[in-house]
Amino acid sequence: MDLNLKVAVVTGAGSGIGRRTALAFLEEGYSVTLVGRRQKPLEATAADAGEAAARSLVVAADVGDPVAVRSLFSKTRESFGRVDVLFNNAGIFGPSGPFEDILYEEWKAVMDINVTGTFLCAREAFRIMKDQHPRGGRIINNGSLAAHVPRPHSAPYTASKHAVTGLTKSLSLAGREHDIACCQIDIGNAATDMIKAVLQDGAGATQADGSMAVEPTLDLDHVARAVIHMASLPLEANIQFMTIMATTMPFIGRG
């Protein structure tokens, strides 16, 4: 491996936003650690990179497990020498239904991945970025429009994404003295399997007034390019929060 290349770690790299963004980092010349719970989808992502797959490292890991997270960052440093960018992307939507019917186990599953997983990966990246030479790096957290306003019947997901925003702000402050920039991308209706389920495969999504409405989606390439732009800035500059969304989706004016 060329230790002069920039290094990115992308969680949730086996599908959706994570997969497309990992491929975009590889296209930009980065070395990339592909992280996800399942080995085969990660290997498929690497295979789709063609010759650039030689700059990839596949690590199957549960981001909610502190031992697994420490191991994946250790493997990254052993393979590539450093970490320049972490895209904290892994997440699940969780249950969709009346608030009073949410099970503890469902709530905990969302928090374990969306919040604890984001914290654990950020902590390990922070430790490496703080001590490496040249020091510093960038942590990009995947928020959501749910970090601003909720969809109906989405309390666990909405709470988790509000927590991610708080973590982003805290990391931004903590990273100042170590040349570590932290930022957040809030994505609306990117065309992933998760949003297809929310939108019921085009049938429509429940709105705040109880009606159903068909909502537009956003091509994943636009999201990937936005993340690459955030990552490409020098460390003295930071896009603290970016919102990228399908232009006519019901976000402005939602509710």
Catalytic residue list: 157
CA-closest candidate to residue 82, choices 211, 179, 205, 200: 179
Yes or no: say if 87 and 105 are a contact pair by the CB < 8 Å rule. no
Cβ contacts of residue 163 below 8 Å, gap of 6+? 111, 114, 115
Locate all alpha helices (DSSP H) within 112-219, ordered by sequence: 118-131, 155-175, 193-198
Cβ contacts of residue 87 below 8 Å, gap of 6+? 8, 9, 10, 11, 18, 21, 22, 25, 140, 142, 227, 231
User: How far does Cα 108 stand from its chain's mean position?
Assistant: 19
* Start-to-end Cα distance in the chain: 51
Could you tell me the sign of the dihedral formed by the alpha carbons of 229, 243, 169, 237, in that order?
positive
**DSSP letter assigned to residue 253:** T
Q: Which whole-number Å values give the CA distances from 230 to 74, 88, 106, 132, 163, in the listed order?
A: 25, 13, 33, 21, 21
